[in-house]
Amino acid sequence: MCPSRRTCRKCWQRSSAERSTLLGRTGWPLTTILTNIDALCVAPRNIERQDYFGSFLELLEKQPEVTECRAVEEMLVPDVKMNFDGIKIDLLFARLALKEIPDNFDLREDMLLKNLDPKLMRSLNGCRATDEILRLVPNIDNFRLALRSTKLWAKKHGIYSTSLGYFGGVSWAMLVARTCQLPNVVPVFLKRPDTVNLGFQVWDPRVNVQGRFDLMPIITPAYPQQNSTFHVSSSTRKIMLNEFNRGMQITDEIMLGKAGWDKLFEAPSFFFKYRYFIVLLVTSNNTDDLLEWCGLVESKIRYLIQNLERILHINLAHVHIKVLETTRDGMKTEARHVRRKQLNQYLDPNLLKRERKNQRLLRRRKCANDLLRRN
């Protein structure tokens, strides 16, 4: 270790290459065109968090395959976001009190969490939950196929985003693993909570008052048990339940031979579904600042939704999960209230044309189905 107690560039290169392990947080090969990769970098005790977000980040930025690389340290689970050869990757960091990390290292041991700070614990918990899920499902191949389809459906229908109040990858994985219908007020448990007590707060509404207000609890199976859907709001809950019901209706039609599987994965029309919109314009003077600025604004949108839900005259606040690029200068954020006919000032005309065409097709199908039912 360096005399200054900080890891220099050479030490980091040697330690990260030989003594740290990159672990897939999802744990299953689900990479599609629409899927990001969540990964966990486990480092030995001589690598500190400031080294990871400092010298290691500089090394990543120099790689020719890496673009849009930035550190997000202020999040609940800090990570490094980047685009590696066209694939978006969220790389988390965990430092363990070990001299070295062997290749066959098992993170399921609960005592590894002893004396860890909450941020490191949360970074490890995603990978630990994944390992537990794979251990608890009876047929991994069927689970992978079902989860891949479910995640594709969720992204197509705009209900896949933890930061915006929808379900994230781990939550969808636990729902698929559970594979049973439960009332919304009952939390989803894959197994009974562990009796381990290392001082971390676990999800227990009997003790923790905050847990009593969770709308759709889905509890991670690994210690410490956490609610993976604490971001869900009243609006996102309504939106997801509507999509669940709509997906169930389409699935019934598919099972009866009235429709094909393509219909299930058709993206609904968002911009022609409502009359009034709030457009958030996030602008910056350069690309690097825009990435960080846009990420920060996106992480705060859920607070805007919570404030809108308190207004009596607003029944639903529906967030579009995709960032739509435009060309404006100046590092600032603007919120504008616009009508549907004004969206052409902010969106690509081709996108609006596709949405309008899809909306017309949906109306024709609905009319045709109504006629068939009457006959």
What are the sequence ranges of the domains in the chain? 34-105, 140-237, 269-361
Alpha helices in the chain (DSSP H): 9-18, 49-51, 57-61, 118-136, 140-156, 169-178, 234-255, 287-309, 349-374
Give the pLDDT score at 163: 81
Q: What is the dihedral of CA 180, 186, 190, 193, to 10 degrees?
A: -160
The annotation status of 169 as a binding-site residue, yes or no, is yes
CATH number of 140-237: 1.10.1410.10
At the second CATH level, the architecture of 34-105 is 2-Layer Sandwich (3.30)
Amino acid identity of residue 34, one-letter, is L
The annotation status of 42 as a binding-site residue, yes or no, is no
Read off the pLDDT of residues 147-160 as tens digits, 9 standing for 90 and up: 888 999 999 999 99
pLDDT category at 236 given cuts 50, 70, 90 is: very high
The annotation status of 158 as a binding-site residue, yes or no, is no
The two most distant CA atoms of the chain are separated, in Å, by 84
CA nearest to 237, candidates 217, 210, 216: 216
The annotation status of 323 as a binding-site residue, yes or no, is no
Read off the pLDDT of residues 240-269 as tens digits, 9 standing for 90 and up: 999 999 999 999 989 988 888 888 998 888
At the second CATH level, the architecture of 269-361 is 2-Layer Sandwich (3.30)
3-class DSSP state of 359:
helix
Read off the pLDDT of residues 18-59 as tens digits, 9 standing for 90 and up: 333 333 334 544 444 445 788 888 888 888 888 888 888 889
Tell me the mean pLDDT in the region 163-169: 87
Give the pLDDT score at 327: 54
Residue 341 has pLDDT above 80, yes or no: no
Tell me the mean pLDDT in the region 178-182: 54
Give the pLDDT score at 239: 93
pLDDT category at 188 given cuts 50, 70, 90 is: low
Give the pLDDT score at 9: 40
Burial class (CB within 10 angstroms; exposed 0-12, middle 13-18, buried 19+) of 32: exposed
Computed over every residue of the chain, the mean pLDDT equals 78
The annotation status of 151 as a binding-site residue, yes or no, is yes
Tell me the mean pLDDT in the region 208-225: 84
Q: Give the number of other Cβ atoms within 10 Å of residue 190's Cβ.
A: 20
Amino acid identity of residue 53, one-letter, is F
User: What's the start-to-end Cα distance of the chain, in Å?
Assistant: 80
The annotation status of 353 as a binding-site residue, yes or no, is no
Give the pLDDT score at 14: 39
Full DSSP string of 187-234: PB-SSPPP---SS-----TTT-GGGGG-SS-BB-SSSSP-BTTTT--H
Residue 209 has pLDDT above 50, yes or no: yes
Read off the pLDDT of residues 15-25 as tens digits, 9 standing for 90 and up: 433 333 333 33
Give the pLDDT score at 247: 92
